[in-house]
Amino acid sequence: MKSIKLFLAVLVLAVITTVSFAKDPGDTVNDFTIKNYDGKEYQLSSALENGYVVVMFWSAECPYVQPFNDRINDYVNSYKDNGVTFWAVNSNVTESTERVKAHSVEHKYVFPVLKDDNSVVANLFEAARTPEVFVLNKDRKIMYHGRIDDNSYAEKVTTHDLKNALDELLAGKEITNKTTKSFGCTIKRN
């Protein structure tokens, strides 16, 4: 009986481990297009023609995302003239398009918030959390994967992981920390 319980525990752990890991730096992501609620189409390969794309898996409700609402525009604005495009992607089936749109308007985001119906884009990246970010180069290769900062609350941040990765990329350097552990809410899929 003990061996059966041990086997089941190992099996459950293996399934959880397999499901919870996203694509890694060096992996390539398939191209995708989202026809968004704003009437525009967003195609990854087209956005990459300008340089790098930061895909941020985002939520209108996750308490780990909300502290970024007041400062994310400054973050994005500091890179927009350096060939870096930011997209927030909301893949949560529990958050309606209307809610996502209202949240974007309320916070006056300077980047598009894309509604990922049926979590198609989240599945392409194998993303698990909000917030969780991926930086891609022109070849759709993941250069960085992980968190924005080491804490959601600005006053508690000790490392700006995404900023450090972008600064190194833009300086033509190898990224020191290509992967960091993201923290937040799970993406709610069907």
Provide mean pLDDT across the span 145-153.
Answer: 92
Residue 152's CB is within 10 A of a number of other CB atoms, namely 19
- pLDDT at position 4, please? 56
- pLDDT at position 21, please? 59
Percent pLDDT > 90 in the chain is 78
DSSP characters over 107-150: TT-SS-EEE-GGGHHHHHHT--EESEEEEE-TTSBEEEEE-SSS
pLDDT at residue 148 is higher than 60: yes
pLDDT at residue 184 is higher than 90: yes
Look at 4-8, 37-41, 94-98, 125-129 and tell me which has the smallest mean pLDDT: 4-8
pLDDT band at 18 (very low <50, low <70, confident <90, very high): very low
Domain 2-186, CATH = 3.40.30.10
pTM for the model stands at: 0.86
pLDDT tens sequence across 65-82? 999 988 899 989 999 899
Q: Which of 89, 95, 97, 161 is nearest to 127 (CA)?
A: 89
CA 49 to CA 52: how far, in whole Å? Answer: 8
Q: Which of 123, 166, 111, 160 is nearest to 144 (CA)?
A: 166
CA 100 to CA 97: how far, in whole Å? Answer: 5
Is 87 in a helix, a strand, or coil? strand
Provide mean pLDDT across the span 150-154.
Answer: 88
Q: Tokens in use for 188?
A: 């709610």
Positions of E strands within the chain: 33-35, 41-43, 52-57, 84-90, 113-115, 129-130, 132-136, 142-146, 185-186
pLDDT at residue 105 is higher than 80: yes
pLDDT at residue 88 is higher than 90: yes
pLDDT at residue 6 is higher than 80: no
